C-alpha cells in the first residue's frame, strides 16, 4: 500500500510558471526523497531532504519538510515544457526501503 499521498494528482501550468506539489506521509522517516518519471521511463532521483532539515534547494527545485505535519512540498520554479512528467515523493524509514506516494502528473504547456 502507498504510504504517501501527493496532491494534486494532476497539475497543468504554463511554461514559466511555478509548480508546487505536496506530499503527506504516515510513518516516521529518516529522509524524504522526490523522484521524477518521464512517460515510459524509470524513476530518476531529484532531491533528498533529511528529517532534521526543513528546506533544501537544488537548481530550480525547492523542497520543504514539516515532520510535525508529516508533509513535504516540491516547488519547481520557472517551469519548462521538459519538466512535464510524474513526480513522486518517497519516505525512507528504517533500512534502505522507500515507500512511494501516488504521484503528481505535471504538464507544462508552451
Partner 1 sequence: DAGVIQSPRHEVTEMGQEVTLRCKPISGHNSLFWYRQTMMRGLELLIYFNNNVPIDDSGMPEDRFSAKMPNASFSTLKIQPSEPRDSAVYFCASSSGGSNNEQFFGPGTRLTVL
Given a contact cutoff of 8 angstroms between Cβ atoms, the answer to whether 89 and 103 are in contact is: no
R_g of the chain, CA atoms, integer Å: 13
Of the candidate spans 11-19, 28-36, 62-70, 72-80, the one that interacts with partner 1 by CB under 8 A turns out to be: 28-36
Name 25's Cβ contacts closer than 8 Å, sequence gap at least 6: 3, 4, 5, 32, 70, 71, 72, 89, 91, 99, 101
- Kindly state whether residue 102 participates in binding partner 1, applying the rule CB under 8 A: yes
**Going residue by residue from 39 to 68, which x/- string records binding to partner 1, judged by CB under 8 A?**
--xxxxx--x-x------------------
* Contact residues: partner 1, CB under 8 A: 2, 30-31, 33, 41-45, 48, 50, 88, 90, 92, 95-100, 102-103
Amino acid at each position: 500500500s502507498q504510504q504517501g499521498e501527493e496532491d494534486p494528482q494532476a497539475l497543468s501550468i504554463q511554461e514559466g510558471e511555478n509548480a508546487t506539489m505536496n506530499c503527506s506521509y504516515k510513518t516516521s522517516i529518516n529522509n524524504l526523497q522526490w523522484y521524477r518519471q518521464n512517460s515510459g521511463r524509470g524513476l530518476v532521483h531529484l532531491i533528498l531532504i533529511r528529517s532534521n532539515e526543513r528546506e533544501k534547494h537544488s537548481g530550480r527545485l525547492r523542497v520543504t519538510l514539516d515532520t510535525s505535519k508529516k508533509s513535504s512540498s516540491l516547488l519547481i520554479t520557472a517551469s519548462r515544457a521538459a519538466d512535464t512528467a510524474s513526480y513522486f515523493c518517497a519516505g525512507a524509514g528504517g533500512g534502505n526501503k522507500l515507500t512511494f506516494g501516488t504521484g503528481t502528473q505535471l504538464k507544462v504547456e508552451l
